Amino acid sequence: MKKVYLIGFMGSGKSAIGKRLSNLLNLPFYDMDTEIAKKTGMTIPQIFETYGEEKFREMETDFLLHFPDEYCIIATGGGVAMRAHNREIMRATGLVFFLNSTYRDIWRRVSTDKNRPIVQRSTREQLEALYHKRKPLYLECAQFKVETTGRSLNEITQYIAFQILRLKGD
């Protein structure tokens, strides 16, 4: 059984869609940020502040490496697909869906959020530069590019569910 990974920039809907997909397909759901927060007993901003970003990135790889072989939905954090090793693990163990959103939508959704340390430390322009830097790596990693602009969470969820069911058993 393969896992389903949702990748994409912060605010592209990975967590919200992952939860909906899990309900629709009756599959377990894991949000990497939530799992890492649970394991450490700290929030994501606290982890960044206490241990630094590099240590957080190690925790992400550790999660991917040691996660049981289970058919489930995994919402990654926006930085997970930046490491070649992480991309290899995801491609080898599952189906990878890239949620593509415009930067305009992203900024509207995340700019006031206090729980994303990278947003907190960035200007609008800096975050946009990161968005453009990351996009080719999401594209490189994913088997599916999902356009999210102008689509509701439910529409996107149904589209991904359709693709998963179509490929089940491959």
Ligand X SMILES: O=C(O)C1=C[C@@H](OP(=O)(O)O)[C@@H](O)[C@H](O)C1
Binding residue for ligand ADP (CB under 6 A) from 12, 86, 93, 157? 12
**Residues 38 and 49 sit within 8 Å (Cβ to Cβ):** no
Maximum Cα interatomic distance, the chain, rounded to a whole number of Å: 45
Contact pick of 15, 93, 101, 157 for Mg ion (by CB under 5 A): 15
Residue 47 contacts ligand ADP per CB under 6 A: no
Binding mask 114-153 for ligand ADP (x = CB under 6 A): ----------------------------------x--xxx
Q: Which stretch binds ligand ADP (CB under 6 A): 12-20, 45-53, 88-96, 135-143?
A: 12-20
Mask: binding to ligand X, 42-61, rule CB under 6 A, as x and -?
--x-----------------
Q: Residue holding tokens 């090793």? A: 85
109 lies in the site for ligand ADP, by CB under 6 A: yes
CB of 147 to Mg ion, least distance (A): 19
Is there binding between residue 13 and ligand ADP (CB under 6 A)?
A: yes
Binding region for ligand ADP (CB under 6 A): 8, 10-16, 75, 78, 109, 148, 151-153, 156
Binding region for ligand X (CB under 6 A): 10, 14-15, 33, 44, 77-79, 116-118
